[in-house]
C-alpha cells in the first residue's frame, strides 16, 4: 500500500446495490453473480479516512476500512439520493454512536439534514457536526477537496462532484449527473485537471430498463460516454473509470462483451478494492 495519501474504492453499485432487492432477473440471481456494494470512496491519509458518500452499505464500507487501519475522520456528501446519504443513520447511538463526526455538504444538503428526521437527531445527539461546503476543504496537510455543482435531479438538494487533490496526484469523483451536456466548464476540462476520474456509469445503454422512462432517471449512458470521449487522447481516456453501476448494467460482469468494449475504448470499469495514489 502506498505510504502517501490515497483513494480506496469501497463500492461501485448504484443506490440499490447489487444484487438489488426485489430483482429476480439473471443480472442479480444468475449463476456466478458477484455482489457489489453501493458507490463509495475512502480518502486515506496517515491513519485517517474520509468517505465520499455514505449510502445504505455504510456498515460494510466501514468493515472494508479495517484492512487499512484507518479511522473514520469525516464524510463528504454529494447529494440526497438514497445511495449517497442514508447510511448516516448508522452514526447514531443505536449503532456507531460517533462523536461530532464532521459531515460536509452543499448548503441545501446541510439544510435538508438539519430540518428533517431522523437526521436531525444525529445533530441533537451530537453524533455529527454539519459543515457547509463554501470553498476548498482541507482534510490534512497533504489532501484538499474542491466541490462543484453537477447537473442532476435535485429534488431535495443540489448535487456536487468532488476533486480530491493530494501531494502527488488528483482524483475526480462524479457518481451522478444527468448527462455531459450543460456542464460549464465541460467535463473534458475537469478531466484535464486530474489523474484519475470516477464517473457516472449507471446504465450501459438507454434501453436497459424496458418499460421505464429513462428520461425520468437521466444519466449519461456508458455508450454515450464512449462516443463522447472517443476523440480524447489515450492518456485522457485512460483516466476514466465508470462507477455507480445499476444492477442491470452488464459492466458488473467482467466477462461481458460490454466490459471488453470499454477496455478496448481505452477506459475502465471501477473495481472495488482499487487504490489510487493521491
Please check the confidence at residue 128 and state whether its pLDDT lies above 70.
yes
Q: Are 105 and 113 in contact (CB under 8 A)?
A: yes
Mean pLDDT for the chain?
Answer: 94
What global pTM score does this model have? 0.95
Q: In which element (H, E) is residue 105 found?
A: strand 101-105
**Confidence grade of residue 211 (pLDDT, cut at 50, 70, 90):** low
pLDDT given for residue 114 in this prediction: 97
Note the pLDDT tens digit of each residue in 161-194.
Answer: 999 999 999 999 999 998 999 899 999 999 999 9
Q: Which of 104, 83, 85 is nearest to 243 (CA)?
A: 83
Tell me what pLDDT residue 49 has: 98
How many other CB atoms sit within 10 Å of the CB of residue 250? Answer: 17
Give 230: exposed, middle or buried? Use CB within 10 Å, 0-12, 13-18, 19+. Answer: exposed
pLDDT of residue 217: 61
Element of type H or E holding 260: helix 257-264
Does pLDDT of 203 surpass 70?
Answer: yes
Boundaries of every domain in the chain: 6-277
Looking at CATH, the fold of the domain delimited by 6-277 is given as: Metallo-beta-lactamase; Chain A (3.60.15)
Amino acid at each position: 500500500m502506498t505510504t502517501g495519501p490515497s483513494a480506496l474504492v469501497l463500492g461501485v453499485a448504484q443506490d440499490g446495490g447489487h444484487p438489488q432487492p426485489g430483482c429476480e432477473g439473471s443480472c442479480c440471481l444468475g449463476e456466478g453473480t458477484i455482489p457489489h456494494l453501493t458507490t463509495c470512496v475512502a480518502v486515506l491519509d496517515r491513519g485517517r479516512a474520509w468517505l465520499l458518500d455514505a449510502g445504505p452499505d455504510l456498515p460494510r464500507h466501514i468493515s472494508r476500512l479495517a484492512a487499512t487501519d484507518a479511522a473514520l475522520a469525516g464524510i463528504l456528501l454529494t447529494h440526497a439520493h438514497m445511495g449517497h446519504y442514508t447510511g448516516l443513520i448508522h452514526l447514531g447511538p443505536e449503532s456507531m454512536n460517533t462523536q461530532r463526526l464532521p459531515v460536509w455538504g452543499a448548503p441545501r444538503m446541510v439544510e435538508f439534514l438539519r430540518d428533517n428526521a431522523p437526521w436531525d437527531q444525529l445533530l441533537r445527539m451530537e453524533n455529527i457536526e454539519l459543515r457547509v461546503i463554501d470553498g476548498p476543504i482541507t482534510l490534512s496537510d497533504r489532501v484538499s477537496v474542491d466541490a462543484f455543482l453537477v447537473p442532476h435531479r435535485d429534488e431535495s438538494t443540489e448535487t456536487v462532484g468532488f476533486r480530491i487533490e493530494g501531494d502527488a496526484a488528483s482524483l475526480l469523483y462524479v457518481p451522478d449527473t444527468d448527462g455531459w451536456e450543460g456542464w460549464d466548464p465541460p467535463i473534458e476540462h475537469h478531466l484535464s485537471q486530474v489523474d484519475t476520474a470516477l464517473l457516472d456509469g449507471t446504465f450501459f445503454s438507454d434501453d436497459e430498463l424496458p418499460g421505464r422512462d429513462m428520461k425520468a432517471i437521466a444519466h449519461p449512458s456508458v455508450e454515450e460516454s464512449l462516443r463522447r470521449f472517443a476523440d480524447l487522447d489515450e492518456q485522457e481516456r485512460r483516466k476514466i473509470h465508470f462507477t455507480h453501476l445499476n444492477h442491470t448494467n452488464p459492466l458488473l460482469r467482467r466477462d461481458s462483451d460490454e466490459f471488453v468494449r470499454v477496455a478496448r475504448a481505452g477506459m475502465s470499469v471501477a473495481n472495488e478494492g482499487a487504490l489510487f495514489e493521491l
